Chain A
Amino acid sequence: MNAFQTAAGATTELLLLPNGEILVHNLTPAMATLLAELNPADRPMRERAAVSEACAKPVQLRKHPDEAIG
């Protein structure tokens, strides 16, 4: 788990299509990592997961009073 994955209130929306395709809106680093693990053949998702991991540092986002936004 990277630093961004601990951010409270982060939201991703998923739409599952009848053919098994998944559409994603507001993709968070945590969801990118999860989706990349679910389908390792999805190269674009792997790229996004990799960016998430590469840029994360082992510290957490601080919680703020308006953290519930979103």
Chain B
Amino acid sequence: MNLAASGIRVAPPNEGRVSRRALARARVPLAHAALRRCHLCEHHCGVDRSAGQRGLCHAGPQARVFSAQVEVSDELQLIPVFAIALSGCDLRCDFCITGSESWNPRAGQPLLPEEIARRAADALDLGCRSIMILGGEPTIHLPGVLEIVANLPDDATLIWKTNAHASTQARSLLEGLFDIWLADYKFGNDSCAQRLSGTPDYTRIVRQNLDWAARHSELIVRHLLMPGHLECCWTAVAQWIATELPGVKANLRCGFWPAWQAARHQELRGPVAVSESERAWEMAQDLGLNLIA
């Protein structure tokens, strides 16, 4: 998608040349049009979601919300955050902690963008520090996301919580809208990604997204340490961050919760051992990662 050709000027958040609300509103028709041949994520299904066809995420044209509430479980610099969780996801992580909603885009209630934006604005008035849009995976619902942003205050701190599996097209629609990309880097190699989430070519895609996010917004990279995946996953993730994104904030999460269909995999049937967590932290410190809580 060529945004320049569409007459849309891209400005960083809060820069003032074009208001974020206006920018988002202008892109809504483009996002709806994108659903007619969906390439919003890197699966590139190419289906016409507007006409009832379904790709790997199974999502239709209508976004749904399975949770919208104030939370304090995210990074300390972000909380309290008003978190808007959209149903459905383009990945199929067997250990997904919200599997029933993330694997089912029909879960929850239909998204009412103006209503949810008003609730988010209320939460800001009460002292919330930021607004987060997440999933599932929000990338697959860009029309609804843009409609939410188009109704939010321009000066709100907006967080894009993502699996970093977005396509170039999706990123172009998101450019300049979110202050912070909070991105998961889940797997340190393509083999684990394929086995645990059914995602091919994961490493190239996630790195491409993280590189882009670091250049276009503040970036926080999250890694959920999985039992038995210290060497194959965290080591590779940590080394890449240290080398390619030095100084970028990283959040190592060690509270693995054997949720959803994690029991399909022998090593994911319990929590992370204390010894593994300690080794993971030591490695991060040795590599000089900018760890945050």
Contacts and interface: CB of A to CB of B under 8 A. Distances in A.
B71 interface: yes
A20 interface: no
B103 interface: no
B73 A70 contact: no
Given A24-B73, A66-B109, A48 B66 contact: no
B115 A64 contact: yes
B271 A59 contact: no
Contacts of B129: 55
Contacts of B66: 69-70
Contacts of B108: 69-70
Interface in B72-114: 72-73, 76, 79-80, 83, 85, 97, 108-109, 112
A27 B69 contact: no
A27 B73 contact: yes
A57 B128 CA distance: 10
Contact of A26 (B69, B118, B123): B69
A52 to B, nearest CB: 5
A11 B97 contact: no
Contacts of B119: 61, 64
Interface of B: 65-73, 76, 79-80, 83, 85, 97, 108-109, 112, 115-116, 118-119, 122-123, 126-129, 255, 257, 271, 293
